[in-house]
Structure 1
Amino acid sequence: MLPSHTNFSGKIHGGYILSLLDQIAFACASKHSETYCVTASVDTVDFLQPIEVGELVTMKASVNYVGNTSIVVGIRVEAENIQSGKVKHCNSSYFTMVAKDKDGTNAKVPGLIIKSENELRRFFKSIKRIELRRERIDYSDHVKYNAKDMLHELEEYNIKIDI
């Protein structure tokens, strides 16, 4: 990582890492689908440890799940201090990519062949993340919000409501 990639605190900027993650997700999904892919959503991005200038960054991507036209790519980011050899896990993220044909419509993707228990675990965890996302969306779409209930629930938060 270069000094030009830093934020104001001297660590590698999270936005720069996100940009790299998106490129890696694109490459991984496009290779699996053998077609152009676009980012549909980013489910989780956990910044676990900062990346320092001069560290060697490795991003490991895997296709964790496939639907009809979508692919979930899991990415693990590690940074290595090239002087000490110490490697640290800095980031984990999950991108949902959608395959597109030449006309820009969604394209069917090849199925996933699971060859190890680790791949099976990743597939299962992807299914659970998808189920949780659907539950969260369904919940927020059906909750009725009114000012009285919101004010009561927000009492414990560090906010001032000036409506």
Structure 2
Amino acid sequence: MEMKKARHSRIINTDQVMACDLNNYNTLFGGVLMKKLDGVATISARRHSRAKECVTASIDSIDFLAPIHQSDSVCIESYVFYTGKTSMEIFCKVIAEDMMTGDRRIAATAFLTFVALDEHKKPMVVPSVIPETEEEKTLFETGAERAEVRKIRRKKSKGLAESISVKKPWDEEVETKESEGAL
């Protein structure tokens, strides 16, 4: 399998903050930013794997580091920095720029994991990554550890999911009253 440089999957997307994107504090809604991150990371995953479809396997973390205001532009940079056999870990950094002053700041960072799917919607093997910059090398060096933590977390999440009820809360109330003879 071929190897690809991290920069070949790099996506840079810049957008303005609209009034409809703001929360009651007049800063960008976290959910709006999460949607943007997922969209940009998807393109990085597709560019790296050259797959028609890539699905989000996990959003490992999003750290909101500084508020984003309506007067800011939002620049999201993403790239694949580490791969497993079929998974790709993508780093996203969010740079907010005050359009009046030109001041720039890191507003958020995020780690997302994607899986490329073949024409039968089965996971497919993806190319390994060649890191070049110091940032890429630093992230690459932590990739295996991060993947192991993700596997452990996923196993725990599956175990938890097996013990969680899928009943509707309002149905439990009716069942309790029926068993107590209240109805």
TM-score (ref. length: structure 1)? 0.80
Shift of 1:111: 1.6
Structure 1 match to 2:145: 128
Which residue of 60, 67, 78 corresponds with 2:84? 67
Alignment of 1:64-103 (within 5 A): 64-103=81-120
The 1:46/1:3 distance shift into structure 2, 3 A limit, reads same
Q: More relative contact order in 1 or in 2 (CA 8 Å, sep 6+)?
A: 2
Q: How does 1:148-159 map to 2 (within 5 A)?
A: none
**Gapped runs of 5+ residues in structure 1?**
142-163
Rg (Cα) greater in structure: 2
The number of equivalent residue pairs is 142
Q: Which runs of 5+ in 2 are unaligned?
A: 1-16, 160-183
Q: Which has the higher strand share?
A: 2
> Is residue 5 of structure 1 aligned with residue 21 of structure 2?
yes
| Identity score, percent | 32
* Cα offset, 1:124, TM superposition: 1.2
Aligned residue for 1:15? Answer: 31
Residues 51, 65 of structure 1: alpha-carbon distance in 2 compared, 3 angstrom cutoff: same
Distance 1:133 1:98 in 2: 14
TM-score normalised by L of structure 2: 0.72
Residue 52 of structure 1 aligns with which residue?
A: 69
Q: CA deviation at 1:136?
A: 4.8
Task: State the match for 1:27 in structure 2.
Answer: 43
User: What is the deviation of 1:112?
Assistant: 1.2
* Superposition deviation, residue 108 in structure 1: 1.0
For 1:95, the aligned partner's letter is L
Alignment RMSD, CA only?
1.9
Instruction: Please say if residues 95 and 105 of structure 2, whose CA atoms lie closer than 8 Å, have aligned partners that are also in contact.
Output: yes
**Within 1, Cα distance between the matches of 2:155 and 2:56?**
22
Per the TM alignment, residue 59 of structure 1 is displaced from its structure 2 partner at its CA by 0.6
* Alignment CA distance shift 1:50-1:116 (3 Å): closer
